[in-house]
Chains A and B, each alone.
Chain A
Amino acid sequence: MIRFESVGFAYPGSGGRSALTRVTLTVEPGELVAVAGANGSGKSTLARLADGLLRPTSGSVTVDGVDTADDERVWDVRSLVGMVFQDPDDQIVGTIVEEDVAFGPGNLGVAPAELRERVDASLAAVGLSALSRREPHLLSEGQKQRVAIAGALAMRPAYLVLDEPTSMLDPGGRRSVLDLIDGLAHREGHGVLHVSHDATGIARADRVIVLESGCVAYDGTPAGLLSDQAMLARAGIALPEIGVLADALRALGARVPEGTMDAESLVGALWP
Chain B
Amino acid sequence: MALTLTDVAFDYAVGTSLAQPALRGVTFSVAPGECVVVLGPSGSGKTTLLRIAGGLLIPSRGDVTVDGMSRGARRVDPFRGAVGLAFQRPEAQFFAATVGEDVAFGPRNLGNGDGAAAAESALELVGLSPGDFAERSPFTLSGGEARRAALAGILAMSPRYLLLDEPTSGLDAAGHRAVSEAIARARATAGVVVVTHDAAEFLDHADRVLVLQEGAAAFSGSVRDLLADADRLEAGGAWVPPEHVRAQLLARRLGRTTSPPVLDPGEAARILFASGGVT
Binding site for B on A (CB under 8 A): 11, 13-14, 37-41, 44, 86-87, 89, 134-135, 138-143, 164, 167-175, 197, 200, 232-233, 236-238, 240-242, 244-245, 248-249, 251-255, 261-264, 266-267, 269-272
Distance from A139 Cβ to chain B, minimum over Cβ atoms (Å): 7
For this complex, 28 residue pairs linking A to B, each with C-beta atoms less than 8 Å apart, are A13-B140, A37-B172, A38-B174, A39-B143, A44-B143, A86-B170, A87-B143, A89-B92, A134-B18, A139-B43, A142-B42, A168-B169, A197-B173, A236-B173, A238-B176, A240-B242, A241-B243, A241-B263, A242-B243, A242-B244, A242-B265, A245-B269, A249-B269, A252-B269, A252-B270, A254-B278, A263-B246, A270-B279
Most buried by A among B47, B140, B143, B237: B143
Contacts of A174 in B (CB 8 A): 197
Known contacts A14-B140, A174-B197, A248-B265: A266-B247 contact under CB 8 Å: yes
Q: Which residue of A lies closest to B40 (CB)?
A: A170
Pairwise interchain contact B242-A242, C-beta atoms closer than 8 A = yes
Pairwise interchain contact A255-B279, C-beta atoms closer than 8 A = yes
Pairwise interchain contact A169-B170, C-beta atoms closer than 8 A = no
Distance from A104 Cβ to chain B, minimum over Cβ atoms (Å): 23
**Chain B 158-173 near chain A by CB (<8 Å), digits 1 or 0:** 0000000010011111
Contacts of A242 in B (CB 8 A): 242-244, 247, 265
Pairwise interchain contact B273-A168, C-beta atoms closer than 8 A = no
A37–B89 alpha-carbon span in the complex (Å): 20
Bin the interface of chain B by size: 35 or more
**7 more A-B residue pairs beyond the given contacts A39-B174, A140-B47, A271-B251, with a C-beta to C-beta distance below 8 A:** A44-B142, A138-B20, A170-B40, A237-B172, A237-B173, A248-B265, A252-B270
Known contacts A11-B140, A39-B145, A249-B272: A167-B169 contact under CB 8 Å: yes
- In the complex, which of the residues A139, A164, A232, A267 contacts B250, with contact meaning CB atoms closer than 8 Å? A267
- In the complex, which of the residues B92, B142, B197, B247 contacts A263, with contact meaning CB atoms closer than 8 Å? B247
- In the complex, which of the residues A39, A168, A173, A233 contacts B142, with contact meaning CB atoms closer than 8 Å? A39
Pairwise interchain contact B144-A252, C-beta atoms closer than 8 A = no
Contacts of B18 in A (CB 8 A): 134-135, 138
Q: Which residue of A lies closest to B127 (CB)?
A: A39
Pairwise interchain contact B200-A241, C-beta atoms closer than 8 A = yes
Distance from B253 Cβ to chain A, minimum over Cβ atoms (Å): 9
Distance from B197 Cβ to chain A, minimum over Cβ atoms (Å): 5
Distance from A215 Cβ to chain B, minimum over Cβ atoms (Å): 15
A11–B172 alpha-carbon span in the complex (Å): 22
A238–B168 alpha-carbon span in the complex (Å): 12
Answer yes or no: B240 CB below 8 A from chain A CBs.
yes
Pairwise interchain contact A141-B47, C-beta atoms closer than 8 A = yes
Q: Which residue of A lies closest to B144 (CB)?
A: A39
Contacts of B13 in A (CB 8 A): 135, 138
- In the complex, which of the residues B92, B249, B273 contacts A252, with contact meaning CB atoms closer than 8 Å? B273
